[in-house]
A = this chain, B = another copy of it.
Amino acid sequence: MNSIPTKDSITAAHERIKPYIHRTPVMTSASIDEMAGCHIFFKCENFQKVGAFKSRGAMNAALKLTPEQRANGVATHSSGNHAQALARAAKILGTKSYIVMPRTAPEIKKRGVRGYQGEIFECEPTLEARESTLAEVIRKTGAVEIHPFNNYDVMEGQATCAKELFDEVQDLDFLVAPVGGGGLLSGTALAAQYFSHNTAVIAGEPALANDAYRSLQSGKIEPASPPSSIADGLLTSLGDKTFPLIKENVKKIITVTDEEIVEAMRIIWERLKIVVETSCAVPLAAVLKDKDTFRGKRVGIILSGGNVDLNRVGKLFA
């Protein structure tokens, strides 16, 4: 257990978590296809439990712990959606959750954690502060850490999202996912390799948080940029478990500006009539930016989440 996910282990993970997650819908839009010059299939994880794909990985990892392992609770640091997802998984399994969150995390995500009886420990929005606070919490509580992305069981759960899409939509030429720490992206790349070998996986990344792009260039994990992009879910650097899989299995990373992210987000809201968060709009921004790559192709896009702080939305679209 906790080894690189295989075809069988991803299939087993899907069966394991099915009772606790939604099979999310796939949406299309003729007008977006016209803008993009290709055929896009949006996998709508904004409709997932807790409003994001993170439910899959957190639930899978928590379910794979033995009752003894999870007796003292589970713990993590997360800017938001994994936090809610893990708190929910702990509640379902009857154990406690301890969540370290940067004090700058959107209020809607903190409310979500509290709604699942998760205990929040706020810290400064730096990786160092997150890790040291978490270490202290684990020392005090005896909880098990479930890392938001650098964990094969989490990756295995995230991989079920692409698997569902491949079950429903055949012959995708491309599948585009966002990249933050790389849990979704590496899981997606593995799922493509196992279940849809002719689908090339591409990542979208904010130009202001382009550490994954730089890592592929340099061949080693580059540290995260200062947290300046509006895509607040994609600010972390890759992990030692996600980077090698991304290096091997992801065709390329397309970086997009914050302006391009907001424009893509507006298009999704206006045309699909669904609420998605900034990080979630990055793949469409990438497809709209790099039209030559995708022209006339069948393109899957994972819409990763819909937890938007509506109080902040006005500023984005003003």
Interface residues of A (CB under 8 A from B): 25, 46-47, 51, 108, 266, 269-270, 273-276, 306, 308, 310-311, 313-318
B318 touches A314 (CB 8 A): yes
A273 touches B306 (CB 8 A): yes
Give this chain's copy count.
Answer: 2
Which listed residue (B108, B276, B314) contacts A315, Cβ 8 A?
B314
Contacts of A108 in B (CB 8 A): 270
Instruction: Give bound CA distance, A229 to B274, whole Å.
Output: 24
Contacts of A276 in B (CB 8 A): 273
What is the interface of chain A mostly: helix, strand, loop, or mixed? helix
Shortest distance from the beta carbon of A133 to any chain B beta carbon, whole Å: 28
Q: Which B-chain residue is minimally distant from A273 (CB atoms)?
A: B306
Shortest distance from the beta carbon of A202 to any chain B beta carbon, whole Å: 25
B306 touches A313 (CB 8 A): no
Contacts of A306 in B (CB 8 A): 273
Instruction: Give bound CA distance, A25 to B46, whole Å.
Output: 16
Q: Which B-chain residue is minimally distant from A45 (CB atoms)?
A: B273
Instruction: Give bound CA distance, A198 to B128, whole Å.
Output: 62
B273 touches A310 (CB 8 A): no
Given contacts A270-B310, A273-B274, A314-B314, 9 further A-B contacts (CB under 8 A): A25-B25, A269-B275, A269-B308, A270-B275, A310-B317, A311-B318, A313-B314, A313-B317, A314-B315
Contacts of A51 in B (CB 8 A): 273
B310 touches A269 (CB 8 A): yes
Contacts of A25 in B (CB 8 A): 25
Instruction: Give bound CA distance, A47 to B275, whole Å.
Output: 13
Shortest distance from the beta carbon of A146 to any chain B beta carbon, whole Å: 24
Q: Which B-chain residue is minimally distant from A27 (CB atoms)?
A: B47
Instruction: Give bound CA distance, A168 to B269, whole Å.
Output: 27
Contacts of A317 in B (CB 8 A): 310-311, 313-314
Q: Which B-chain residue is minimally distant from A269 (CB atoms)?
A: B275
Which listed residue (B266, B308, B311) contacts A310, Cβ 8 A?
B266
